[in-house]
Amino acid sequence: MPVKPVFEAVINHVSILDEHGNFDSELGDGLIPDADVVAMYKHMLVCRHFDEIAFKLQRSGRMGTYPENRGQEAASLGAAYALEQNDWMVTCYRENAGLFWRGLPKEKILLHWMGDERGNNLDGLRMTPLAIAIGSQMLHATGLAWASKYKGEDSIACTFFGDGATSEGDFHEAANFAASLSLPVVFVCQNNGWAISTPSSVESAAPTFAQRGLAYGMECVQVDGNDLFAMVKVTRDAAKRAREQNKPTFIEAVTYRLGDHTTADDARRYRDQEELDMWMKRDPVIRLRQWLESRDLWSEEQEAHAKAEAEKEIAMVVKNAEEIDAPASSEFFDNMFVELTPELKKQRQTMRTSSIGQNPSQVDVKQSEGAIK
């Protein structure tokens, strides 16, 4: 037969708890201990409140631009829950829920968006600063996983990015290296339907984003990203594959951002109210609460108590972020590289002298070093 298929593929969609409350016991029973589901639900309430307060801080001129995470909490939280303590979490900017779950102090996110570089100082945490340059972080994840494999460690890297980011060359390079060098990376694409005002249908003509990983020889799966259980399941499977076989996986988490792209955006100008209304009903927080209530694991009183606790906690987080001592002006050089490049070293050393009118290239770097400490 001169013509025969050489490759065929199927992309599976995984859902355990759907928006109507249907729960797949076969996949879901025993997946997460009840106490952990309760803890993660409370955590989602805290994250939702954090989001609301961060939005208000921007609107009242107390913080710079902020990207709301509202609606996408289950995707990063479920994935973060499935990772081991020493795994790397390499994110963009809609993963607060997962980062907080893994121990990122909440003040750090506020400081970041307040323009204070200390928000990016993550010493001791296996996570990288929020990547605002779209797609750049996936390369870092591949590099971290490569380092882990090279050193014989058992940690893996889990990276998060949007649907739009898969159109960046960085994604394709990171994916190709990860698959062809057999590196322990989990790629989690949060497909929220939009890249600012560009709908995903314009970003890609393919029926799924998951299949983008196929081209590189990766395992690929699509999952309901608003389903905490399904996120835990697919990430756990992918993490196991990475750890035990050094094989990367591409996970497409189908979700939706319920807010604007950032506080600098007004999504009403490009998306329909009906679309938003439909996704409001698929809200991961509502879904999880219904599941907990149906099992007598949650009550109205617990809800009120948890919300009051969340308000207290976030008020303290805001206070800590706003009352921190002003940073030294040279601190914005300090948290990106372990060792500064020669150019940055020079900029750091000459920033004061050049700001008062001296040409940095004419400043004796060694002499000025002491003055700017």
Is 93 catalytic? The answer is no
Q: Out of Mg ion, ligand TPP, none, which partner does residue 160 contact, by CB within 5 to 8 A per kind?
A: none
Q: Is 163 a binder of Mg ion (CB under 5 A)?
A: yes
Q: Is 73 in the site for ligand TPP (CB under 6 A)?
A: no
Query: Can 270 be counted among the known catalytic residues?
Result: yes
Query: Which residue's Cβ lies closest to Mg ion?
Result: 162
Residue with Cβ nearer ligand TPP (162 or 225): 162
How far apart are CB 162 and Mg ion at their closest, in Å? 4
First to last CA, the chain: 75
163 lies in the binding site for ligand TPP (CB under 6 A) = yes
CA distance 373 to 364: 15
**Among residues 174, 255, 165, 254, which one has the least CA distance to residue 218?**
174
Residue 202 CB, shortest distance to ligand TPP, in Å, is 12
Q: Which residues contact 92 (CB under 8 A, 6 or more apart)?
A: 130, 131, 132, 134, 137, 160, 161, 162, 165
Round to whole Å and give the CA distance between 101 and 98: 5
With CB under 6 A as the contact rule, the residue among 81, 177, 194, 250 that binds ligand TPP is 194
β-pairing verdict for 88-90 and 12-14 = unpaired
Helices (H) and strands (E) in the chain, counts: 14, 8
- Angle 110-113-114 from CA coordinates, rounded to 5°: 80
Q: Write down the catalytic residue from 118, 140, 261, 348.
A: 261
**Contacting range for Mg ion; rule: CB under 5 A; set: 13-21, 37-45, 51-59, 161-169:** 161-169
Nearer to ligand TPP (CB atom), residue 65 or residue 330: 65
- Nearer to ligand TPP by C-beta: 262 or 347? 262
Residue 296 vs residues 276, 288, 292, 300, 316: alpha-carbon distances, Å:
30, 12, 6, 11, 31
C-alpha–C-alpha distance, residues 273 and 258, integer Å: 11
95 binds Mg ion (CB under 5 A): no
164 in contact with ligand TPP (CB under 6 A): yes
Our answer to whether residue 282 is catalytic in this structure is: no
Examine residue 192 and tell whether it contacts ligand TPP (CB under 6 A).
yes
- Strands 219-224 and 198-199, sheet pairing: unpaired
Q: Shortest gap between Cβ of 367 and ligand TPP (angstroms)?
A: 38
* Contact partner, 134, from ligand TPP, Mg ion, none, Cβ < 5-8 Å per class: ligand TPP
Chain contacts with Mg ion (rule: CB under 5 A): 162-163, 192, 195
Annotated catalytic sites, by residue?
257, 261, 270
